[in-house]
A and B are shown apart, each in its own frame.
Chain A
Amino acid sequence: DADVTQTPRNRITKTGKRIMLECSQTKGHDRMYWYRQDPGLGLRLIYYSFDVKDINKGEISDGYSVSRQAQAKFSLSLESAIPNQTALYFCATSDLQTYNEQFFGPGTRLTVL
């Protein structure tokens, strides 16, 4: 079984709809992250959480929100999706013991029409 899972894997939605992407991990890591990937731009950090009570904005948080429901679960929401949020979204986890190495989920491909 995968250590970091993301649901759904693919989603097509319409402008203005609310969307939630979910991430679960079995690695026991405290730190979790959400990134989006766009061609030529690498991965950009949306939000990150260093423990259940800690939520921080990344470099591109506008239009997104997150919820850390438990150590193992970190959800990303798009309150009102717009076409330029079409991207590949990744969840990742890390732990201080692994020198900040991050472990990635398989990604969610989101298309906003």
Chain B
Amino acid sequence: QKEVEQDPGPLSVPEGAIVSLNCTYSNSAFQYFMWYRQYSRKGPELLMYTYSSGNKEDGRFTAQVDKSSKYISLFIRDSQPSDSATYLCAMSESNFGNEKLTFGTGTRLTIIP
């Protein structure tokens, strides 16, 4: 069993829909949780960064962390065609600057105009 599990999709939704992306994990030492967006043939870019349990909102994006269930989510409101990409969850035990990130396998998302 992988440390971080993520539904690979692909996931296709119409423009304007709310998208929900999820990851589960097994390592209870994870404290820092991230979502990265990766466009085709590009490097991953950091979307959301959260510590411990709770919600964080940034524009159309909301990240949720439930450490008791070992479950994290990313919600995208009013989805746009430009949101079409692969979304990777990632997590680490520390944030001292030399932390190792453990990634999910990524969910490929397509927003249909």
A and B interact: no
Contact surface of B with A, Cβ cutoff 8 Å: none
Interface residues in chain A, defined as those with a beta carbon under 8 Å from any beta carbon in chain B: none
